[in-house]
Amino acid sequence: MIQKKLTKLVGLKKTDFDLFVESGQIKLQQAKLIPTLKTGDEMALTSIFLSTVRLVKEYRDGIFKSIKLSRAGKAYYYTETCFPDISSSRIDGLIIVVIKGIIADAVFFEMKNKNNGIDQKQVEDYLSISKSLKVNKLVTVSNEFVADSTHSPVKAKVPRNISLYHFSWTYLITKGRLLLFKNDLRIQDDDQVEIMSEALHYFESSVSGISGFIQMKAGWKELAECIRAQKALKQSDPLY
């Protein structure tokens, strides 16, 4: 059993990472394309999404590029990740990228479906964990729409050197759909085409909890009313 204290993920040897898992200092599950979880559960959705990223090269390349995650080395995909010595919080998803036996890059995922919005306190807790473990990327995913992936539905305090991204499910589904068109960017492998198609079938089903582009970030209604009333708006206004 490993006796060392967990102080980082990025920069850690993969063999030590595995020992931390064995000792219980890291708790996680392997992401599965067909998880043995309740249909519509957020963890099932997380597992299917991360497995699709793992199995479909062109989809993976697009997601990794969007969040500036290294595409070199070998990536590993996990769900229900917890670091008991650091926090009792359970993070929905984790991808680590290993190069020459060392974790060279990593990203945490916080996933929501249905009417569940991104929670500021929860995001700030995950950002604190990210800082403790030298993970410089956190991605939130929900039915909430933002204008750009670098924007967030919440006003979280983001530590220096950590990037916070947000994807709407509509955005992620659209990226998958575009890869199925017959063009130069399409998925080349026929089996991966089938995997992408099946994943999209689940994402677009009402049982998945994905509702598409029907929900704006909190404050949008109030902001729209201010615009309609021709009230003066400031860039520092918390509605933005």
pLDDT tens for 119-174 read 999 999 999 999 999 999 999 999 998 888 889 999 999 999 999 999 999 999 99
Higher pLDDT, 205 or 52: 52
Assess whether pLDDT exceeds 80 at residue 229.
Answer: no
**Closest CA relative to residue 91, chosen from 67, 76, 105, 107:** 107
pLDDT tens readout for residues 179-200: 999 777 899 999 999 999 999 9
Q: What angle do CA 208, 177, 193 make, to 5 degrees?
A: 95
> What integer best gives the mean pLDDT of the chain?
89
* Cα–Cα dist 76/40, whole Å: 24
Give the Cα separation of 107 and 65 in Å (integer): 13
One-letter identity of residue 118: I
Q: Is the pLDDT of residue 236 over 60?
A: no
Say whether pLDDT at 218 is over 60: no
Yes or no: say if 73 and 85 are a contact pair by the CB < 8 Å rule.
Answer: no
Decide if pLDDT at 19 tops 60: yes
> Does the pLDDT at position 217 exceed 60?
no
